[in-house]
Chain A
Amino acid sequence: MWRYILRRLVWLVLTLLFITLLTYVLFFVMPPTDPAILFAGKHPTPQVIAQVRKNLGLDRPFVVQYFLYMKHIVVGDQYGWPGLGFSFTTGKAVRSLILEKLAVTFALSLGASIVWLMIGVPIGIISAIKPGSLYDRLGMGFALFFVSAPVFWVGLMFLWIFWYKLHIAAGTGYYPIGQYGVFTWANHLIMPWVVLALVFAAFYARMVRGNLIETMHEDYIRTARAKGISERRVILKHGLRAALTPVVTMFGIDFGLLFGGAIITETVFNLQGIGLLSVQSVNNGDLPVIVAITLVASFAVTFMNLVVDIIYAYLDPRVRYT
């Protein structure tokens, strides 16, 4: 088991190295805009451009830049550890920038994930227990709808209906707890939570339903019933454990994915999280931020993949790891 974990960790580091290299090649070697010119402002002279290039550290060969970047990540730079450099746009340390935005994304992700688990899993369970019934049809209808609906359209519709027309929801924007208090903070997050959650809830409902129905037909469930255990216990104790195991692992991966920022939800609701930052930084040619976000997002995904695999191995005795 430990050898497996070790191997996976090594692989995680290698993957991240490769991803940063890829990001570097994409954004530094073939950038859409030359940051030196971009940040040299209006009517720059060649000297100004050269100086800006130097200031941004872009005058050195690509390999040197990449090496320095990786070195800073490991040992830190003048802004702390890990050393992610400074943003071309604002001159601010990328590290603190990312931490700030992560807080927002985290607030969004955590709230949404609680909501989607609370909605999706029960719907899936009920649908599975009573297949073909009205509950099932309604539940799966809801799931099918939100699996098919584009997130940004749902978000816009929600804004239009609940904020603009009915005035029962707060508008867009993120209001940090520190400045505005818990109520305003939560008030402005409710719609993004719900919108983001609905899409995931739909997936989870379908998945839980499918898994549970499969599980309910397994032999050991039949055995349990034959032994005289109450239907309720059969479902809750035996059925759910097997059915929900994949849900747990799926949840881990999805949560990791959200660390790349729920770009669309953040754009529609104007939440200054990692997702919106990534869009802005690509648009602004802010390379250090782009690379840093890629790093954070990929790390989250690969790490959660590892965590999830370990948990799955723990939960499901049938799985063996070589």
Chain B
Amino acid sequence: MRQDQSIRTDQLDVGAAAPAPDGQSAIGKTPWQLFWRRFKKDKFALAGGILIIVLIFIAIFAPLIAKFVGHGPNELFDNATNEFGLPVGPSSRFWFGADRSGRDVFVRTIYGARTSLAVAFLATGIATLIGVTLGLLAGYVAGSVDTVISRLIDVVLSLPLLLFALGISAACSVAKNGCLHGLVQPGLRLVVFIIALFTWPYLARIVRGQVLSLREREFIEASHSMGAGEWRIMFADILPNLAAPIIVYTTLIIPSNILFEAALSFLGVGIPQTTPSWGRMLSDASNSQMFTYAWWMMLFPGIFLLLTTLAFNLLGDGLRDALDPRSRR
């Protein structure tokens, strides 16, 4: 699974993306005001942002929408499939058609937004937490701590991603209580766990790089000479300066995590059927080449998936361009 190119920071000039806190412009606007002004001008980024808000709304109000349509996400309709179990296509009763179990694809697609967004936010959140912490430690404390953490990052990034994801998922699905004494149950938790496990290194690397360069700046030296403790410097001085790149890269990791979750579902890593997931719906569409008959099972979840990731990519691009005074569109 390929991550967005801007996550690869091997060649990234680490100082560039962080706006210097003491870099006031002549007009006296704060960096955040500057950022907002630049961001507003970016129509595509705005569109992405609006689309995301719409999707969040759809996710939140999915039950209401389902009620309006009159079908539940797991409600089975006998007349939605013919005697061979083949589903009906889009019609006035089933706007996006039905699937092989006789469920309403439209309602399930709407509910799928919940799964994708929930997994993306949760997994990214956890990954960010771990990644920022470890990156901060590695970059600031340096020395052997840095060596250990950096090597760990290298190892995790060298692992064949999907293979391990499948293996961990299989291992955790068998026992009644999953893995880690019931903490990681098969289903949503397992998927979040796996995604977080494999994406924290990206953030850690970026943060580490940023911290490495920030460490040498004068204001840190100033804090030192004022007698501030290391922890205080880490959290009060460095961390705020990481806010901008963290926001940007987190936003850019979200779409790849959404795709990662969809890929895992596609390959059969277990979110149970009762929780609609776009990846799972696409996997169902490809089983027995069902999509050659029931194209609607493939088209609609795919389009929604595409729009969601597109929106986050647009937003992320816009954020990155707006926060980086040196980048040009």
Q: A-side interface residues toward B, CB under 8 Å?
A: 11, 15, 18-19, 22, 26-27, 30-33, 131-132, 144-145, 147-153, 156-157, 159-160, 164, 199-200, 203-204, 206-207, 210, 213-214, 217, 246, 249-250, 253-254, 257, 260-261, 263-264, 267-268, 275, 278-279, 282-283, 290, 293-294, 297-298, 301-302, 305, 312
Contact = CB atoms under 8 A, between A and B. Distances in A.
B158 A302 contact: yes
Interface stretch (B77-85, B162-170, B210-218): B162-170
Contacts of B267: 263-264, 267, 279
Given A132-B329, A149-B306, A156-B298, 18 more contacts: A15-B158, A18-B155, A26-B164, A27-B167, A32-B171, A32-B173, A145-B306, A149-B305, A153-B305, A160-B292, A164-B292, A250-B8, A263-B162, A267-B267, A290-B163, A293-B160, A294-B160, A297-B163
Interface stretch (B19-27, B34-42, B102-110, B309-317): B309-317
Interface in B101-131: none
Contacts of B5: 203-204, 206-207, 250
29 contacts: A18-B155, A19-B159, A27-B167, A32-B167, A33-B170, A33-B174, A144-B313, A147-B313, A148-B255, A150-B263, A150-B302, A150-B309, A153-B282, A156-B302, A157-B298, A159-B291, A160-B292, A199-B2, A200-B2, A214-B327, A257-B2, A267-B266, A267-B267, A279-B267, A290-B163, A294-B159, A294-B160, A294-B164, A298-B159
B229 to A, nearest CB: 30
B329 A150 contact: no
Interface residues of B, number: 49
Contacts of A312: 11
Given A160-B298, A279-B166, A301 B291 contact: no
Given A19-B159, A156-B285, A160-B295, A150 B11 contact: no
Given A156-B282, A260-B161, A150 B155 contact: no
Contacts of B173: 32
Contacts of B266: 150, 152, 264, 267
Nearest to B3: A203
B323 interface: no
Nearest to B44: A144
A156 B162 contact: no
B246 interface: no
B170 A32 contact: yes
B181 interface: no
Nearest to B179: A30
Given A160-B292, A249-B10, A150 B262 contact: yes
Contact of B306 (A11, A31, A150, A264): A150
Nearest to B308: A148
B157 to A, nearest CB: 8
Interface in B131-164: 151, 154-155, 157-164
Contact of A217 (B166, B167, B306, B328): B328
Contact of B2 (A30, A33, A203): A203
Interface in B20-57: none
A156 B289 CA distance: 9
B259 interface: yes
Nearest to A254: B2
Given A19-B158, A156-B291, A260-B161, A145 B302 contact: no
B163 A150 contact: no
B160 A297 contact: yes
Interface string B282-305: 100110000110010011001001
Contact of B163 (A33, A157, A206, A294): A294
B309 A149 contact: yes
Contacts of B155: 15, 18-19, 22
Most buried by B among A32, A290, A312: A32
Contact of A153 (B168, B302, B314, B329): B302
Given A144-B310, A147-B313, A149-B306, A264 B263 contact: yes
Interface of B: 2, 4-5, 8, 10-11, 151, 154-155, 157-164, 166-168, 170-171, 173-174, 255, 259, 262-263, 266-267, 279, 282, 285-286, 291-292, 295, 298-299, 302, 305-306, 309-310, 313-314, 327-329
A150 B160 CA distance: 19
B167 A26 contact: yes
Contacts of A26: 164, 167-168, 171
Contacts of A210: 327
Contacts of B159: 19, 22, 294, 298
A246 B11 contact: yes
A21 to B, nearest CB: 10
A153 B309 CA distance: 13
Contact of A301 (B8, B158, B170, B305): B158
Contact of A160 (B158, B255, B291): B291
Contacts of A282: 163, 166-167, 170
Contacts of B174: 32-33
Contacts of B8: 250, 253
A-B pairs with lowest CB-CB distance, top 10:
A32-B170, A153-B302, A148-B309, A297-B160, A260-B160, A148-B310, A207-B5, A282-B166, A278-B163, A301-B158
Contacts of A217: 328
Nearest to B295: A160
A316 B25 CA distance: 34
Given A26-B164, A30-B171, A145-B310, A153 B11 contact: no
A213 B328 CA distance: 8
B113 to A, nearest CB: 15
Nearest to B164: A26
